[in-house]
Amino acid sequence: MCLAIVLFAICIKMILQIDLTIVLLNCLIMVEQVKEFERNGVKLSQSKRKEMEKLKSHIDALNLKYLQNLNDFTKFLLLGEDELAGMPFEFLKDLEKADGKFKVPLTSYHVTPVLEHCKVGSTRKQIAVAYGQKGGKDNVAILENLVQLRHKFAKLLGYTNYADFAIEPRMPKTSRKILEFLEEMSEQLSDVANRELNILKDLKIKEEGNAQFGMEDLLYYIKRAEEFKVDLDVGEIKQYFPVGLVISGMLKIFQDLFALRFDEIKDVDVWHDTVRVFSVWDASSSDLLGYFFLDIFSREGKYAHTCVVTLQNGCLCSNGTRKVPAAVILSQCPKEFDGNSALLRFPEVVRLFHEFSHVVHHVSNRATFSRFSGLRLEGDFAEIPSLLLENWCYESISLKMMSGFHQDITKSISSEACQSLKRRRDLFAGLKMKQEILLCLVDQIIHSSENVDIDDLIKDLHPKVMLGIPLLEGTSPASSFPRIAFGYDAVCYSYIWSEVFAADLFVSKFKDDLLNQHAGLRFRNKVLAPGGSKDPLEIITDYLGREPSLQPFIQSRTRNSL
């Protein structure tokens, strides 16, 4: 009996010495790995796996063909100078001429300016219809074929439809949840979108007479309304964003908000002399959290987009020490020339701030295992912190920290200009979001139902979602919507979803005190630190102290809409 008691005591002692958190995380890793294997066909028979591989190959080939059809689209329209009335001289002078007319290529680079500036309604419609036929019936047929193959692929793995397969590992879990979310969004935005549309219709009546309002008119009259409602000179605004000042202000905001300290490391070997290296420390404990590289200036042969690349994930080592994370932010900012500060356009400021938020997310991560570290996050959750932090680019106190007139940096951007930037972002937000919701609904419906005629679906949905504005005759958004064909199939909703959660976080926790370090530190510890080791919805609900709500997004985006 005594021996049994001793052995029992030893067992209890051993159990108490085990870190149950690590045990649970190990279990989570195993569950996720098993699920990944199952989603890749590990449970299928050999013949079924061969069928799955054939389906994947066929899907890949069709994806490529869809994109190739878009890339091979080289059509143009010949338009006279009178047909392009209202177009800026800078636009016209770059166009080739043929038979005395301007040759307007049907690319987004050329089409968008025409739809925004051309005063001639018939020209806008001609351009919009021609561009809307990009990809044509061939791409619609390819997409319908793709959808059927995706459904077959999902059913092979035991799912009812492809949407449920694609959404299962993401925050909403089911396609039904997404459809409910999109339909509620559309309904909640209808009142403000209707008011916006009436303003645009009135503008068209004043300028062109009592003509029907069409999709070809949206961009032009939104642009006209902006001129009346927003006092903002984009060229002048740029003068307040010297790249060096933007970077130093951005770093200060993140340090102040999240109780961090960034120390630049000099005399270190890097791949280019413009690259800067920083160590990141907890401002209170002085613990080393990680490193980041700033590689933001343009050079030949460099990757052309602004993004973050993880160099090392953080994790707990077997000896109890931590391997710290490291990342690099890449961009193509202009360099100083002849002693003159390089200036950033405001969208470039927002993009840099957004991507640097990913850097901070990466280095703030305290996950035990590398698998849950870095930016290996659930797809709908990955963008929420960065979209939340974009709000700092539209608030006076933070925007002034990143700005200064290039000839006298003591003169920061005015509070009125800050308000105009926010107003410009939110102007006609209802109609803009309705267009996005329409495409997301199409994506979700075709991937959650079988044998859907895509053209008929769009013809039916378009006037309902877009408040009676008819679809341009002879066009189909499905023919030139690469996200729905490749990369975001069945998950086009994700960006809107992330925006809604980000707006709730901002309004609830930060809006009234942007540099509240208590709120920022709590966000860092509760939202950023866990990485992928906890359920994203659980993380956000725990931080908010309640279920997330749609209302803050609707209210914040419609407050300045009109």
Mean pLDDT of 392-410: 93
- pLDDT band for position 14 (cuts 50, 70, 90): very low
pLDDT of 426 above 80: yes
Where helices occur in 230-345 by DSSP H, the ranges are 234-238, 243-258
More confident residue, 221 or 340: 221
CATH topology of domain 237-426: Collagenase (Catalytic Domain) (3.40.390)
Mention the CATH class of domain 138-231+430-559: mainly alpha
Q: What is the residue type of 317? A: C
**In the chain, domain spans:** 2-39, 74-133, 138-231+430-559, 237-426
CA-CA distance, 132 to 119, in Å (whole number)? 20
Q: Which residues contact 128 (CB under 8 A, 6 or more apart)?
A: 111, 115, 214, 215, 216, 472, 475
Higher-confidence position of 443 and 337: 443
Residue 499: both structure tokens together: 């925006």
126-130, 197-201, 340-344, 417-421: which has the minimum mean pLDDT? 340-344
* pLDDT given for residue 9 in this prediction: 54
Averaged over 260-268, what is the pLDDT?
96
State the DSSP H helix or E strand holding residue 331, giving kind and residue range, or none if neither: strand 326-333
Q: What is the pLDDT of residue 25?
A: 66
Q: Which residues are marked as active site?
A: 355
> Is the model more confident about 205 or about 6?
205
Each residue's pLDDT tens digit, 449-472: 988 999 999 999 999 999 999 999
Q: pLDDT tens for residues 290-331?
A: 999 999 999 999 998 999 999 999 998 888 899 999 999 999
Residues 6 or more apart in contact with residue 307 via CB below 8 angstroms: 329, 330, 355
Label residue 12 by pLDDT band (50, 70, 90). Answer: very low
| Structure token pair of residue 263 | 């120390």
What is the pLDDT at residue 33?
A: 79
Average pLDDT, the chain: 91
pLDDT on residue 280: 98
Q: pLDDT grade, residue 215 (50/70/90)?
A: very high
Contact between 348 and 333 under an 8 Å Cβ cutoff? The reply is yes
Range name among 5-14, 214-223, 321-330 with the lowest pLDDT average: 5-14
What does the pLDDT read at residue 13?
Answer: 52
Pick the residue with more confidence: 504 or 9?
Answer: 504
* DSSP symbols for 4-53: HHHHHHHHHHHHHHS-HHHHHHHHHHHHHHHHHHHHTTTTS-HHHHHHHH
Mean pLDDT of 159-163: 96
pLDDT for 244 equals: 92
Identical topology for domains 138-231+430-559 and 237-426: no
Within 13 Å and on the Cβ side, how many CA atoms surround 219? 15
Kindly state the percentage of the chain with pLDDT values over 90. Answer: 79
Query: pLDDT of 20-66, one tens digit each?
Result: 566 666 677 777 777 888 899 989 999 999 999 999 999 999 999 99
Instruction: For residue 75, give every residue at least 6 positions away whose Cβ sits within 8 Å of its Cβ, in sequence order, or none.
Output: 105, 106, 130
